[in-house]
Amino acid sequence: MISTRRMAAALALAAGATALAAPAATAAPISPTGTIDSLAASSIPAEHRAEVPSVTEQLNGLNDLYQLQQLHQLTDMAAPVTGLLGA
């Protein structure tokens, strides 16, 4: 008689082999910002879409503001050393 453990191991091996043999999904990876862009653009009339920045462009603009804020913090720290502040 085959033991329960050996039967379970054989079934697990068969299942693993089947999973490896199955073709991988060929769907393209989903981009969250791309999905949001397409959803947002679908509510804007086609003749006005070029006038409205995409969500991705708006997020990139926010990132630029964040980087500018970091630069401002650095220059604020350096201003007393360089004499850029008024007395």
- pLDDT tens digits for 43-77? 888 898 889 888 888 888 888 888 888 888 877 77
Q: Which two tokens stand for residue 75?
A: 């220059």
* Span of 3-7, 34-38, 52-56 with lowest mean pLDDT: 3-7
Global confidence as pTM = 0.45
Amino acid, res. 58 = Q
Q: Which two tokens stand for residue 53?
A: 């920045």
Q: How far apart are CA 7 and CA 80, in angstroms?
A: 77
